[in-house]
Amino acid sequence: MHDSAIFLPLREQHERLRSGTLRALELTEVATQQYARRGLHDHAYIDWRGDRALESARVTDTLLQHGADAGPLMGIPVSVKDLYAVSGYATYAGGARRLPAQWEQSGPIITALMRQLPSLMGKTHTVEFAFGGLGTNPHWGTPRNPWDSMQHRTPGGSSAGAGVSVVSGTASLALGTDTAGSVRVPASMNGVAGFKTTVGRWPTDQIVPLSSTLDSPGLFANRVDDLAFAFSALDSSLRGSRCSEITPPPLSELVFGVPDSYFWDGCSPGVAEAVNAAIERLAQGGARIIRLELPRAQEAFELFQAGGVASVELAAFLNTRFPERIASLDPSVAARIMATESMPAWEYVRRREQIASLYDEGKTRLAKVDAMLMPTVISTPPTLQSLESEGAYQKANMLALRNTAIGNFLGTCGLTLPVGLDAIGMPVGMQMLAGPGQDARLLAIGRAVEAHLGDRFALLGELPDV
């Protein structure tokens, strides 16, 4: 299926749509065929709108035939995480009940997206209120990691359905959010590319919040090059100025920092090996690799384990807006909310000050290199069955988010791209972190890395049949 039109690079889809050698209807038909083939098995969507997308694609084709151009993403099949308010769609935020009507009015990001007339395939599953890194959801069911056709493995979270929608071909681009790794973890576990923007780069209005301090929108796609294309299209619209061309620099001009400690501890078999092999290939290609530790990584992780500020800020949101929903929360989410009840106000302020200090130190350290490299997720995606014993979910959740959360606590932008398979054949991602505000530069560097290592189709091969 890799030769299908929906898996073409976004730049090529864009060019073919305008030259008339590809139709938006053709792309959308492929997405709906893939949904018919894999939809029930993969369970990526809470609200699939294939028929509506087909109608939209027909209109798009007519406009293109008459020379209209609404933007770079015109005619591209897109999925959206069910935290984003989208006009005409219900928002559940992974919960059992529909949120009030105010969460059905599009915010700035969705407005910028829809203005370009993509084919919106539907809304994808999320962990309830985005509070979890494995992708589980007892209300709606957990999407299935498509790389294991025999056992139900986690897809990563909280953007649980987003990565699945891209890897299985029901969308060419997916929108997610990232507070502690909720884009990078599912992108890594599903073997696609994922990008977390710097906090504040893009607005979060009309995105159901987890943490007002740490939430950042993000993107999923088959390639880093696709991420760069989509980022440029949305960033230009959101910021009111054209995003500079994200041109990949020569590897010989790049300096990468690789930490010795923390980020490699406890890797599942094959994870460290795949990432180290990728780093070695970059060195052979001319990149300079230096040993560089990220400041206070263990301290940041301990703060994350204690709930950071996300648990307090979500508890504040729920208690002031939806107190009646707390009793019916996913038990894994509820336990972390309840733990905040005994926290004094001064502790929340102290944690905010600690994060601000980590931001400052992280910015200084990251200025020494073009990007930091390490495994995105150290653990093989667990099976749902393995999470049933007492304490198993909490342990697996922390392992999944262990490396990505540090990027959020240091204020970085972050990228993950697939670099191989682990010992049991599940995807391995390499995380790239750069300083705050370096979003376009990191994507340019990621394009250079991908061009040297190969994209997911070259590295991972075909998905197993369902």
Taking the model in full, what pTM does it have?
0.97
pLDDT, tens only, 177-232: 999 999 999 999 999 999 999 999 999 999 999 999 999 999 999 999 999 999 99
> What are the strands, taking DSSP E only, across 241-352?
255-258, 288-291
Check if the beta carbon of residue 207 is closer than 8 Å to that of residue 317: no
Q: What residues pair up with 219 in beta bridges, in sequence order? A: 175, 195
Distance, CA of 312 to CA of 131 (rounded, Å):
12
Residues with a catalytic annotation lie at 81, 158, 182
* Angle between helix 224-239 and helix 439-453 axes, rounded to 10 deg: 160
Q: Per-residue pLDDT for 249 more than 80?
A: yes
| Beta carbons within 8 Å of 91's beta carbon, 6+ residues apart | 82, 83, 84, 85, 98, 99, 103, 104, 123, 208
pLDDT, residue 58, reads 98
- Closest CA relative to residue 432, chosen from 278, 309, 284, 297: 278
Q: In this prediction, what percent of the chain has a pLDDT beyond 90?
A: 91
What does the block give as tokens for 44? Answer: 């990526």
* CA 334 to chain CA mean position, Å: 23
Check if the beta carbon of residue 421 is closer than 8 Å to that of residue 270: yes
Q: Per-residue pLDDT for 1 more than 70?
A: no
DSSP 173: E
DSSP 210: S
pLDDT, residue 244, reads 66
pLDDT, tens only, 125-155: 999 999 999 999 999 999 999 999 999 999 9
DSSP, collapsed to helix, strand or coil, labels residue 418 as strand
What does the block give as tokens for 424? Answer: 């049991």
In single-letter form, the type of residue at position 3 comes to: D
Q: Per-residue pLDDT for 12 more than 90?
A: yes
Q: What are phi and psi of 170, to 5 degrees?
A: -95, 0
Distance, CA of 445 to CA of 19 (rounded, Å):
29
Average pLDDT estimate for 65-81: 98
Distance, CA of 386 to CA of 389 (rounded, Å):
7
* CA 40 to chain CA mean position, Å: 22
Distance, CA of 325 to CA of 329 (rounded, Å):
7
pLDDT, tens only, 82-107: 999 999 999 999 999 999 999 999 99
Check if the beta carbon of residue 159 is closer than 8 Å to that of residue 124: yes
pLDDT, residue 133, reads 97
Helix%, strand%, coil% for the chain, nearest 5: 45, 15, 40
Check if the beta carbon of residue 456 is closer than 8 Å to that of residue 2: no
pLDDT, tens only, 425-450: 999 999 999 999 999 999 999 999 99
Q: Per-residue pLDDT for 405 more than 90?
A: yes
Per-residue confidence band for 172, with pLDDT thresholds at 50, 70 and 90: very high
pLDDT, residue 440, reads 96
The H or E element spanning position 396 is helix 392-401
Least confident of 68-77, 238-247, 294-303: 238-247
pLDDT, tens only, 331-383: 888 888 888 888 899 999 999 999 999 999 999 999 999 999 999 999 999 99
Q: Per-residue pLDDT for 17 more than 80?
A: yes
| Beta carbons within 8 Å of 7's beta carbon, 6+ residues apart | 1, 169, 172, 222, 457
Q: What are phi and psi of 413, to 5 degrees?
A: -95, 155
pLDDT, residue 374, reads 98
Please state, rounded to an integer, the average pLDDT across all residues of the chain.
96
For residue 290, is it left (φ>0), alpha (ψ between -120 and 50) or beta?
A: beta
Distance, CA of 114 to CA of 398 (rounded, Å):
35
DSSP 86: -
Average pLDDT estimate for 259-271: 96
Q: Per-residue pLDDT for 34 more than 70?
A: yes
Q: What is the CA radius of gyration of the chain?
A: 20
Q: What single string gives the DSSP state of each residue in 124-145?
A: E---GGG--SS---TTT-PPP-
Distance, CA of 96 to CA of 137 (rounded, Å):
10
Can you say whether the dihedral through the CA atoms of 52, 27, 429, 214 is positive or negative? negative
Distance, CA of 349 to CA of 365 (rounded, Å):
25
Q: Is 316 exposed, middle or buried (0-12, 13-18, 19+ CB in 10 A)?
A: middle
Average pLDDT estimate for 441-462: 97
